[in-house]
């Protein structure tokens, strides 16, 4: 059986195109890990808050502390396990409107250097990102397990506010 020259050229062209896919991906993708790692590298304390990102009028400084890490070994372990997915820059990823939970903040010398909110257990919102950045599956699983094992509730504890309705004497939840 003889292969036509045009078929050979097609195979060569497809092979060349497939070889370019990884190069194109690298050109049009973004790795959030270096910027985030640089921002948190000097941290000497990590605080997990009962809140989220600094939005919606949150008073992040008034939120309860759920967990505080000050041991350099634990801080290094925590930081090394925060790993984000590389993403394409060709498509803008939207983010949800919630502030997230829990809030995770890094401090150096008593000053907050990075304020974040965890988004739905799988992403992080930070002012240094243009959008919520998604954690790798391994990182998300590690972080959720880490928080759960240290008693951080899966959901934010929010006081229920009851609005009394004087006409019928019943309350309605807000």
Q: Return averaged pLDDT per consecutive 10 residues of the chain, 174 residues in all.
A: 66 62 63 96 97 82 94 97 87 73 96 95 92 94 96 73 47 42
pLDDT at 35: 96
What pLDDT score does 55 carry?
A: 77
Quote the pLDDT of residue 117. 94
The two structure tokens encoding residue 27: 């050109």
Among the listed residues 21, 103, 30, 24, the one whose alpha carbon sits nearest the alpha carbon of residue 66: 103
**Would you state the pLDDT for residue 56?**
72
Q: Residue 90's pLDDT is what?
A: 66
DSSP string, 93-107: PP--SS--SSEEEEE
Ordered by where they begin, the domains of the chain are 30-173 (3.30.1490)
The predicted structure's pLDDT at residue 54: 83
pLDDT given at position 146? 96
> Given this model, what pLDDT does residue 91 score?
64
**pLDDT score at 85:** 94
| Separation CA 172–CA 174 (nearest Å) | 7
Global confidence as pTM:
0.74
Q: Are 116 and 125 in contact (CB under 8 A)?
A: yes
């Amino acid at each position: 059986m003889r292969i036509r020259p045009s078929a050979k050229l097609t195979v060569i062209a497809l092979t060349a195109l497939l070889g370019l896919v990884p190069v194109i991906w690298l050109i049009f993708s973004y790795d959030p890990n270096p910027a985030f790692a640089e921002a948190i590298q000097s941290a000497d304390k990590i605080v997990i808050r009962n809140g989220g990102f600094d939005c919606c009028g949150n008073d992040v400084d008034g939120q309860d502390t759920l967990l505080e890490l000050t041991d350099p070994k634990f801080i290094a372990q925590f930081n090394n396990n925060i790993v984000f997915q590389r993403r394409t820059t060709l498509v803008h990823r939207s983010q949800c409107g919630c502030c997230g939970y829990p809030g995770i903040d890094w401090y150096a010398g008593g000053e907050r250097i990075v304020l974040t909110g965890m988004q739905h257990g799988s992403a992080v919102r930070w002012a240094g990102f243009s959008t919520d950045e998604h954690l790798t599956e391994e990182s998300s699983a590690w972080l959720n397990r880490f928080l759960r094992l240290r008693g951080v509730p899966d959901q934010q504890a929010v006081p229920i506010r009851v609005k009394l309705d004087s006409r019928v004497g019943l309350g309605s939840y807000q």
